[in-house]
Amino acid sequence: MFSIELKKSALKFLKVLKVKDDLYRISNKIDQLQINPFPTDSKRVEGNFEFKIFRIRVGNYRILYYIDYNNSKVYIEKIDKRENVY
């Protein structure tokens, strides 16, 4: 089982999110990453990143994350709407 760590930008987004239903769906998806960091809807994000970045969809939102296997942690890098996250 993996532990979750939210980066500052992801935490900030969750604090200002106004729609409680969306907040519930996003937090539920993040909780599922603890059990399975590679859900069937995850995809690898191409680009020049230090780590292999993956993304999952939650409605109109995207969660970008990477995995540290040595420490069994999933780092949530960014959460935002699709047009703003990439």
Residue 12 to residue 7: CA distance in whole angstroms: 9
Query: Would you place residue 49 in the very low, low, confident or very high pLDDT band (cuts 50, 70, 90)?
Result: confident
What is residue 51's predicted lDDT score, i.e. its pLDDT? 82
**pTM of the full predicted structure?**
0.90
Rounded to 5°, the CA angle 1-52-69 comes to 30
Indicate if the pLDDT at residue 86 is higher than 90. no
Cα–Cα distance, 37 to 67 (Å, whole number): 8
Share of the chain above pLDDT 70, in %: 100
Domains of the chain: 3-85 (3.30.2310.20)
19-40 tens-digit pLDDT: 889 999 999 999 999 999 999 9
